[in-house]
Chains A and B, each alone.
Chain A
Amino acid sequence: MAQIVKMPKLSDTMTEGVVSKWHKSVGDTVKNGDLLAEIETDKATMEFESFQDGVLLYRGIEEGQATPVDAVLAILGEAGEDFQPILDEYNKGAAKPTEEPKAETAQPKAEPKADEAPATAEVKAQPAAESKPAEVKKPHYLKKKVQVLMVA
């Protein structure tokens, strides 16, 4: 029986994830505990181990693409099984994650609120190559993408 593997919520503040690397290909057998994919959250790149068993029938997104939490990440089932009905069924349901993810959704997009910028705020490190000239309109501490440090 085919089953949906949903995009997991790997941090308390994660709203969507980017698959930075798939560790299984369609047709591979996946066992509980196997590394399925590396997923980039708003905080870090996490290894996602499957807690379901089955043959990988379908991968919902390509490497480098983003999709919301709970959207279809993959489908596991028996080799050769027709997964289309369960995929259609799921996408018809509450979560409608079928839109092509836009390039910028790969980045955390939450604008920092004023009260989220105390001394404990952590500045998300930006790769040096990507750094652009700083905007000058906003106060200094709002220029970068600021996130409240997870302390526990």
Chain B
Amino acid sequence: MAKTKFSKETYLMWYEQMLLMRKFEERAGQLYIQQKIRGFCHLYIGQEAIAAGAMSTIKADDNVITAYRDHVHPFIKGVEPKYVMAELFGKSTGVSKGKGGSMHMFSQPHRVFGGHGIVGGQIPLGAGIAFAEKYKGTNNVTLCYMGDGAVRQGALHEAFNMAMLWKLPVVFIIENNNYAMGTSVERTSNVIELYTLGESYDMPAAPVNAMSVEAVHDAMEIAVAHCREGKGPYLLEMKTYRYRGHSMSDPAKYRTKEEVEEYKAQDPIQRVLTTLLEKKYASEAQVEAINEKVNLIVDECVKFSEESPFPDASELYKDVYAQEDYPFIRE
């Protein structure tokens, strides 16, 4: 169990934030089957404590980069959910101006570096962002998220080696939900305790029960402080679970219903709710009010997205190269 004592306000914040992530994703799933959202769509349902537990440990100038399961990571950095929803709709008001969609959430002002569809592609990029921060002499930390499948990519080893060698301020965070599409962790390597991969590079590393937002917070606090003090990278293996299929079209036949239920029984949101009520941090009525507020926020996200325009065709030529008159761009 978590060692730190947390305030009532922290618990209330966690409850609201995680519920918002859950409801946002549930709605995204519904909108997908109604064809308001098209293309790919990978939901974060079940993994919310990882994002929420990070929120309480970082500052505005820190960086976040992740894979395609990326709808809620922008929330960590304070991006308003409606801009993420608009991106899912492909609307011009979306975080990536409607040109990225579900897998490519970017926000320069919030220092959110995507959304990457190439499994593991974000690992060396995350190290690179941390390198830039070190080079510029800031004390900004980079959070680099990856799945258990991404961990099996070769690029991880080069990135880990260099990050350690150069003491880069990056927290590598494995979101181990036990599956890479339909392939379980055990089927991909003899090394199934993923945090032990840090040992090869003398990188400090720890496993975390990511169904507990308190445990995530505690681990993140240690890792972020380690980076911020210039001591180099840190590896955290968040042991989590996704309740839904890999993407919208995955019936998830490779696992049993009992297995899913086992994890739902440890649901991170339910756990926080239990704490709120047991410690009398909130009454039933206050909880109901938060639920209501979250539903309204999600409704507002959808309304905003529906009413926003699609990007103009001319947008296709923009944001491709940093240099404006790059010779390959001709309208």
Residues of A within 8 A of B (CB): 6, 8-12, 14, 41, 43-48, 51, 69-70, 150, 152
Indicate if the CB atoms of A45 and B251 lie closer than 8 Å.
Answer: yes
CB-CB under 8 A from A47, the residues of chain B are 251
> With contacts A12-B39, A152-B117 known, is A44 near B30, CB below 8 A?
no
A interface: dominant SS: loop
Question: Which chain B residue lies CB-closest to A43?
Answer: B249
Q: How far is the CB of B100 from chain A (nearest CB, A)?
A: 13
Q: How far is the CA of A14 from the CA of B249 in the complex (A)?
A: 9
Q: How far is the CA of A8 from the CA of B249 in the complex (A)?
A: 11
Question: Which chain A residue lies CB-closest to B39?
Answer: A12
Q: How far is the CB of B156 from chain A (nearest CB, A)?
A: 20
CB-CB under 8 A from B248, the residues of chain A are 10-12
29 contacts between A and B (CB under 8 A): A6-B34, A8-B33, A8-B34, A9-B32, A9-B35, A10-B33, A10-B248, A10-B249, A11-B248, A12-B248, A12-B249, A14-B249, A41-B249, A43-B249, A44-B249, A44-B250, A44-B251, A45-B251, A46-B249, A46-B251, A47-B251, A51-B26, A69-B35, A150-B247, A150-B249, A152-B40, A152-B42, A152-B68, A152-B117
Q: How far is the CA of A6 from the CA of B30 in the complex (A)?
A: 12
Q: How far is the CB of B121 from chain A (nearest CB, A)?
A: 12
Q: How far is the CB of A12 from chain B (nearest CB, A)?
A: 6
List CB contacts (< 8 Å) of B235-268 with chain A.
Answer: 247-251, 253
Q: How far is the CB of A76 from chain B (nearest CB, A)?
A: 14
Q: How far is the CA of A28 from the CA of B99 in the complex (A)?
A: 43
Indicate if the CB atoms of A12 and B38 lie closer than 8 Å.
Answer: yes
Q: Does B103 contact A (CB under 8 A)?
A: yes
Q: How far is the CB of A66 from chain B (nearest CB, A)?
A: 17
Given A6-B34, A10-B249; 19 other pairs, CB 8 A cutoff: A8-B33, A9-B34, A9-B35, A10-B33, A11-B248, A12-B40, A12-B248, A14-B249, A41-B249, A44-B249, A44-B250, A44-B253, A45-B251, A46-B249, A51-B30, A69-B35, A150-B247, A150-B249, A152-B103
CB-CB under 8 A from B26, the residues of chain A are 51
CB-CB under 8 A from A45, the residues of chain B are 251
Q: How far is the CB of B42 from chain A (nearest CB, A)?
A: 8
Q: How far is the CA of A150 from the CA of B41 in the complex (A)?
A: 12
CB-CB under 8 A from A46, the residues of chain B are 249, 251
CB-CB under 8 A from B117, the residues of chain A are 152
Q: Which 3 A-B pairs have the closest CB atoms?
A: A11-B249, A8-B33, A51-B30
Question: Which chain A residue lies CB-closest to B27?
Answer: A51
Q: How far is the CA of A152 from the CA of B68 in the complex (A)?
A: 9
Q: How far is the CA of A44 from the CA of B40 in the complex (A)?
A: 16
Of B33, B34, B247, B253, most A-chain CB atoms within 10 Å: B33
Q: How far is the CA of A80 from the CA of B38 in the complex (A)?
A: 36
CB-CB under 8 A from B38, the residues of chain A are 12
Question: Which chain A residue lies CB-closest to B245?
Answer: A46
CB-CB under 8 A from A41, the residues of chain B are 249
Q: How far is the CA of A70 from the CA of B34 in the complex (A)?
A: 8
Question: Which chain B residue lies CB-closest to A50?
Answer: B30
Q: Digitize B14-42: 1 where CB-to-A-CB distance is under 8 Å, 0 elsewhere.
A: 00000000000010001011110011101
Question: Which chain A residue lies CB-closest to B68?
Answer: A152
CB-CB under 8 A from B32, the residues of chain A are 9
List CB contacts (< 8 Å) of B33-70 with chain A.
Answer: 33-35, 38-40, 42, 68
Q: How far is the CB of B108 from chain A (nearest CB, A)?
A: 24
Question: Which chain A residue lies CB-closest to B40?
Answer: A152
Question: Which chain B residue lies CB-closest to A51?
Answer: B30
CB-CB under 8 A from A150, the residues of chain B are 247, 249
Q: How far is the CB of B147 from chain A (nearest CB, A)?
A: 12
Q: How far is the CA of A10 from the CA of B250 in the complex (A)?
A: 9
CB-CB under 8 A from B251, the residues of chain A are 44-47
Q: How far is the CB of A151 from chain B (nearest CB, A)?
A: 9
CB-CB under 8 A from B40, the residues of chain A are 12, 152
